[in-house]
Every structure is written in structure tokens, then in C-alpha cells.
């Protein structure tokens, strides 16, 4: 199948039949334009539901004719696509304890209505058809991000979000890793550092498409953690702390992408041990809180996580303390509490600038980077010898259950 901007094109009769099998049968499909023979006689009318007999007749003449098998986005096809995508959403809503479920079930909107509104855009619709037909490994991750993004955005807008905003957020969540649909990287790699820039490549592929305004722009830096949200540190959660849907939506997609890739990296969903899963979730929440305190995530959005995971309040407070301790460094960026999240030392990243707090005796040999909280920030700690810092004396004890 070819998935052009808003168009579904079968490359052969066999391709058409295979697509129909995935989409509930030939009767769900129709051609966008009439199929003509070499004498311009109509073989199949446009918009007419297909049947096995009609398709078999076309198959018998396929080698003789140059068939243009462009499919119409029929109501029947839209219904089946909506049902299949809705079933995937419903599976995730069955988890009563999840943050996504909590956010989506308490709002004055219906996620299925949002989904159907998103599918009304032909460009987005054909991309979802591609996902359902090809079943890429990343498909579940895209749905997870889209659902949580809608919930977080609605919460941040205090119930004032319009339908068009929510459907755009849903589309951006489903498309944020568009470039990886045909890539093996999702199976081969646990995480994607900022240097990978697959988000920017996804944006470049989506920008020319006829998607709603702003959707492509939201995902342009969904893999980049840049210190540009610091101005929101003390902001209240309202519709004025970001100027528009694109800015807020981009921040939401960024945070959701980090949260779910961290879950995947920690293998929380795959663990068969309840205590291990609990420990991993606590570390992930620590990462979110720490990144927010360092200015990489908007604090108002992380507050939503804090309210949902209230029983882990000590972890959020601990992460904030660690971040403030590191930022008390004379040079702002050289002090690093190590390892995270259970920090026992503060080390200096660079021994060259003069500093009275640097301890030149008993340097610490870092064999491998255990600081998962700096993953994707561009501040990877390379193996080697590092001097300790006197700020180590001010390190708090980690929460007993972290």
C-alpha cells in the first residue's frame, strides 16, 4: 500500500485484498475514482462497496489494464478504523490505577470523541490506516503518548480546552515518532538520546502534509530536553503560562515521550515482580521531578504527576533538593550528585576552573555512567577520574523506599 497525503493507494489487487483483510473485508472499501477498461468503459463505479466477485474480475484483467487503485475514505472504512483504534484505547483505560486513566476519566470530554475528531482529517486518517495495516512495533507507544498527552493538556487548561485543541494534541501524540514507523530502531534500542534527532526528521516528513495547523510543529523537538521551560517554575497551571496550543502541546508531548520511554527503558511493564515495578516507577518519578527542578520540564505539568502519585511526595521533594544543591555550584553546571537517584557524592565535572569547594584528594573513578537522570539532556558523564565537591556534606538521605 502507498499512503499519500490523504490517499490510500493499493499497488496491486493482491495488495488491495491484503489491506481489506486487515480492515474488516472488501465491503468496507470503495474506489475514489471509477475503474475503466482500455476502451474507457466503467468496470467499477466510484464509491461502490467492493465485493469478492468484482475484485476477482479485476484480478483477471490486472495484467491487461493499468489499474489506478485509489481507495475512497468511506464511512464504512472510517468506522472500522475508529473501532480498531478505539479498542486499543479501551484496553489502556482498563487500568484503573494509571495516570492516563485517572486524567481521562475525570474530565468534561470523551477521549473517543476526541479520537474520532482527529480521524476526520484525511491525512491523519491515512497514516492511522498505515499503522493498523502494517502494525509497527512502536504503535502501542504512540497510543500511550497520545492518550496521556490529551489528559495532561486538558488538566493544564483547567477544563477550558476546545475540541480542536484536544484532537490536535491526540494527532501530535500519535505522530511524534512518525519517522520510526518503518525503522527497526524501536526494537533495537531502549532509549533515544537528543543527538538522534528523529523528532526533527519526523517533523520534516509531516510538515508538507495537510495536517491541522500546528500539529507538526508540536513534535519538532519532542526528543529534545532543552532548558527553555525555566520561566514556568513558579507559574500556576492556567491557560496563560503558555501563549498557544503549539507551545503547551509541544511541552506536553515532550514530557509524555520522556515518561513512556523511561518506563520502557526500566522495563517496568515487563517485570513480573511487584516490588521491582514499584521501585522503578519511583525512580522514574524522581527523574521527572529532578528534570523539572533543573529547568528541563515545566513545573506545572510535573505538579500533575505529583498530585496523582501523592504517596511518593518524599521522592519529589528529594529530587527538588538534589537539583537545588547542584545549582548552588559556583559555576551552576559543574556539580553533579552521583549516582542518581541514591546520591552519596557530589563530583565536579571539570577540574580546570578554580573552585574552593573542590576536594583534590581521593578522586572518584567513574567506570560507567549510572546517572540515568541525565539521559537525553546532553550532559552524559564520561568514564574517568573526577574530584569530589564539599557540597557532598549537604546531601540529604534518599527516601527510605527509593
Q: What is the DSSP string of 274-301?
A: HHHHHHHHHHHHHHHHHHHHTTSS-HHH
**Torsion 90-96-98-99 (CA) sign:** positive
Determine the pLDDT at residue 129: 96
Q: 3-state class of 353 per DSSP?
A: coil
Reference 326, options 300, 352, 297, 349; nearest CA is: 349
Q: Is the pLDDT of residue 285 over 80?
A: yes
pTM assigned to the model:
0.89
Which residues fall within 8 angstroms of residue 204, CB to CB, at 6 or more apart? none
Q: Is the pLDDT of residue 104 over 50?
A: yes
Q: Is the pLDDT of residue 146 over 60?
A: yes
Q: Omega before 341 cis (within 30°)?
A: yes
Determine the pLDDT at residue 271: 40
State the DSSP H helix or E strand holding residue 266, giving kind and residue range, or none if neither: helix 245-266
Q: What is the mean pLDDT of residues 98-126?
A: 91
Q: Predicted confidence band at 294 (pLDDT cuts at 50, 70, 90)? A: confident
Q: 3-state class of 122 per DSSP?
A: helix
Reference 77, options 134, 37, 20; nearest CA is: 20
Q: Is the pLDDT of residue 276 over 50?
A: no
Which residues fall within 8 angstroms of residue 235, CB to CB, at 6 or more apart? 241, 298, 299, 300
Which of the pair, 128 or 198, is modelled with greater confidence? 128
- Quick count: other Cβ atoms within 10 Å of Cβ 28? 20
Which residues fall within 8 angstroms of residue 402, CB to CB, at 6 or more apart? 279, 282, 283, 286, 314, 315, 318, 341, 342
**Torsion 371-374-376-382 (CA) sign:** negative
Phi, psi dihedral angles at 356 (to 5 degrees): -70, -15
Q: Predicted confidence band at 119 (pLDDT cuts at 50, 70, 90)? A: very high
Angle at alpha carbon of residue 246, lines to 151 and 82, rounded to 5°: 50
Contact 325, 315 (CB under 8 A): no
Q: What is the mean pLDDT of residues 92-116?
A: 86
Q: Would you list the domain boundaries of the chain?
A: 2-71, 75-266, 330-394
Determine the pLDDT at residue 371: 66
Counting other chains too, the contacts that 378-384 makes at CB distance below 8 Å and 24 or more residues apart are 378/194, 378/195, 378/225, 379/333, 379/336, 379/349, 380/193, 381/336, 381/338, 381/349
Cα–Cα distances (Å) from 399 to 316, 341, 354, in that order, read: 10, 10, 34
Q: What is the pLDDT of residues 332-385, one digit of tens each?
A: 889 999 888 889 999 998 988 999 999 988 899 988 766 665 555 556 678 899
Q: 3-state class of 380 per DSSP?
A: coil
Amino acid at each position: 500500500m502507498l499512503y499519500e497525503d490523504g490517499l490510500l493507494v493499493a499497488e496491486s489487487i493482491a495488495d488491495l485484498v491484503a489491506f481489506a483483510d486487515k480492515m474488516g473485508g472488501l465491503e468496507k472499501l470503495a474506489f475514489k475514482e471509477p475503474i475503466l477498461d482500455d476502451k474507457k468503459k466503467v468496470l467499477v463505479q466510484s464509491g461502490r462497496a467492493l465485493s469478492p466477485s468484482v475484485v476477482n474480475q479485476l484480478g483477471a484483467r490486472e495484467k491487461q489494464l493499468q489499474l489506478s487503485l485509489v481507495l475512497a475514505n468511506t464511512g464504512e472504512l472510517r468506522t472500522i478504523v475508529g473501532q480498531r483504534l478505539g479498542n486499543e484505547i479501551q484496553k489502556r483505560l482498563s487500568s484503573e490505577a494509571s495516570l492516563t486513566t485517572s486524567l481521562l476519566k475525570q474530565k468534561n470530554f470523551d477521549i473517543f470523541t476526541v479520537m474520532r475528531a482527529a480521524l476526520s482529517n484525511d491525512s491523519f486518517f491515512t497514516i492511522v490506516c498505515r499503522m493498523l495495516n502494517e502494525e509497527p512495533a512502536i504503535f502501542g507507544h504512540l497510543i500511550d503518548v497520545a492518550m496521556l498527552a490529551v489528559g495532561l493538556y486538558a488538566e493544564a487548561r483547567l477544563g477550558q480546552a476546545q475540541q480542536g485543541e484536544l484532537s490536535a494534541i491526540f494527532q501530535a501524540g500519535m505522530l511524534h515518532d512518525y519517522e520510526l514507523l518503518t525503522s527497526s530502531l524501536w526494537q533495537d534500542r531502549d532509549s533515544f538520546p537528543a543527538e538522534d534527532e528523529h523528532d526533527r526528521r519526523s517533523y520534516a516528513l509531516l510538515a508538507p502534509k495537510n495536517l491541522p495547523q500546528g500539529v507538526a510543529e508540536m513534535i519538532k523537538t519532542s526528543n529534545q530536553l532543552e532548558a527553555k521551560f525555566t520561566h514556568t517554575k513558579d507559574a500556576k497551571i492556567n491557560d496563560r503560562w503558555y501563549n498557544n496550543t503549539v507551545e503547551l502541546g509541544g511541552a506536553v508531548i515532550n514530557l509524555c515521550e520522556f515518561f513512556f520511554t523511561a518506563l520502557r527503558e526500566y522495563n517496568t511493564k515487563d517485570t513480573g515482580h511487584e516490588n521491582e515495578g514499584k521501585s522503578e516507577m519511583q525512580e522514574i518519578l524522581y527523574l521527572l521531578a529532578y528534570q523539572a527542578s533543573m529547568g528541563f520540564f515545566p513545573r506545572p505539568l510535573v505538579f500533575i504527576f505529583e498530585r496523582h502519585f501523592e504517596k511518593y511526595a518524599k521522592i519529589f521533594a528529594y529530587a527538588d533538593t538534589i537539583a537545588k544543591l547542584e545549582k548552588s555550584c559556583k559555576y551552576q553546571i559543574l556539580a553533579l550528585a552521583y549516582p542518581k537517584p541514591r546520591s552519596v557524592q557530589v563530583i565536579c565535572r571539570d577540574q580546570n576552573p578554580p573552585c574552593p569547594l573542590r576536594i583534590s584528594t581521593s578522586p572518584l573513578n567513574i567506570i560507567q555512567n549510572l546517572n540515568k537522570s541525565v539521559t537525553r539532556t546532553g550532559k552524559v558523564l564520561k568514564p574517568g577520574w573526577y574530584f569530589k565537591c564539599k557540597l557532598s556534606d549537604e546531601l540529604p538521605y534518599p527516601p527510605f523506599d527509593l
